[in-house]
Structure 1
Amino acid sequence: MAFGADELRVLRRALAAALGPAPLQDQDVQDCLRLTASLDEAVREADRLRAFLLADLTRYREALPGSLGGYLGLLREALAAGYDPGADDLAALRALRGNPAAAALLSRCQGLAERSVRARLARVTQATASASRAPRTRLLALPGGRAAGDGPRPAPPAPEERPVPKPSEVFPPRRRPVPPPPPEERAAG
């Protein structure tokens, strides 16, 4: 994303105002709001372009091997835009690895996919570790829970210990089906 000279002046004034205690003039506030709207529009446009590029990449991938040149070009463009190759991309490139350009792109995509998976695992591991290290909070009594004159409450009764059922008790044995009567008895009955 590139800024024009006017946008950079507005951005510089906004940063100066954010760092300094001086109040902003009305014109500066309006300029900042216009710059914010322009930035939001640029982000939306970038999202639309990315969605279009990924949809185009999917169409080219589904038309392989006839669309090899177009697919490889679009994949390079998507990778340059920050796209993480998916399992479909890796499978398509593996099928096309006889082509030197596809083989080179396959090794690049495998490295990117591996880095992406490692980063996701690191985030999950970090979140799990931070959750397990978090101190436990004490439970506090809520107001109105017990009146002051109630005194101590008796402990609840201990639960009955039941024996663990045997598998044959939980899953009774199957009964063998009764064989059908011979044909002579069926005709007579």
Structure 2
Amino acid sequence: MAFSADELRVLRRALATALHPAPLHDEDVQDCLRLAESVDDAVREAGRLRAFLLDDLARYREALPGSLPGYLELLQDALAAGYDPAADDLAALRALRGNPRAAVLLERCQVLAERSVRARLARVCQASVTTAPAPRTRLLALPGGRAGDEPKPRPTPPPTPAERPVPKPSEVFPPRRRPVPPPPPEERVAG
């Protein structure tokens, strides 16, 4: 990103004001707002160009090996813009390593991919270290306060109730007894 001479003057005034706070004229405030808007536009445009470049790179990669010269050129442009090569790029370059230019790019991409993986691992490790809870320390009573230097008796733990054995399911739910069928009608009459 390049600034014009006018934008550099506005930036210099804004930095001077940030270092030595002083009231600003309305014109200076408007200049700073216009500069901020221009920077935001440039960042959005850079994002759009990057997305276009990466989409174009994916299209050329899918059309390999017929699109080899265009793919290699786009990949070099993307790497120059800070692109971390993806697994698809490494696989494509491995398949094309018979081409000397592709072999050179493969070596460069492998180095960049390894750096990228190491950087991500370092960030993950750093995040886990910073988010890990600190070990709990014992709280110590400070002398003074209400009790002064008197030794306090230790509280005794409450008595534990007598433990009862856990009942078996057959004790809680006795087995069902089958009902005895009534005697046949003939036996009732005879008796």
State the TM-score, normalizing by the size of structure 1: 0.71
1:51 equivalenced with 2:51 (yes/no): yes
**TM-fit CA distance, 1:130:** 1.9
Instruction: Measure the CA separation in 2 of the matches of 1:37 and 1:44.
Output: 11
Instruction: Measure the CA separation in 2 of the matches of 1:7 and 1:156.
Output: 78
Residue identity in the other structure for 1:39? V
In structure 2, relative to structure 1, the CA distance for the partners of 1:91 and 1:21 (3 Å cut) is same
Alignment of 1:16-165 (within 5 A): 16-132=16-132, 134=134
Unaligned runs of 5+ in 2: 138-157, 167-191
- Please tell me whether Structure 1 or Structure 2 has the larger radius of gyration of its CA atoms: 2
**TM-fit CA distance, 1:132:** 2.2
Write out the 4+ residue segments of structure 1 that deviate beyond 6 Å after TM superposition: 154-157
**TM-fit CA distance, 1:131:** 2.1
Residue identity in the other structure for 1:104? V
| Residues 90-135 of structure 1: CA deviation (Å, up to 9, x unaligned) | 0000000000000000000000000000000011111112222535
Instruction: Measure the CA separation in 2 of the matches of 1:74 and 1:156.
Output: 76
State the TM-score, normalizing by the size of structure 2: 0.71
> 2:13 aligns to what?
13
SS in 1 for 2:132: helix
In structure 2, relative to structure 1, the CA distance for the partners of 1:133 and 1:95 (3 Å cut) is same
SS in 2 for 1:35: helix
SS in 2 for 1:110: helix
SS in 1 for 2:98: coil
Instruction: Measure the CA separation in 2 of the matches of 1:30 and 1:66.
Output: 53
> 2:182 aligns to what?
none
Instruction: Measure the CA separation in 2 of the matches of 1:103 and 1:94.
Output: 8
In structure 2, relative to structure 1, the CA distance for the partners of 1:83 and 1:17 (3 Å cut) is same
How big is the alpha-carbon RMSD for the aligned residues of Structure 1 and Structure 2? 2.6
SS in 2 for 1:75: helix
**TM-fit CA distance, 1:156:** 11
Residue identity in the other structure for 1:63? A
**TM-fit CA distance, 1:59:** 0.3
In structure 2, relative to structure 1, the CA distance for the partners of 1:62 and 1:28 (3 Å cut) is same
Instruction: Measure the CA separation in 2 of the matches of 1:47 and 1:155.
Output: 69
**TM-fit CA distance, 1:70:** 0.2
**TM-fit CA distance, 1:32:** 0.1
Unaligned runs of 5+ in 1: 138-153, 163-189
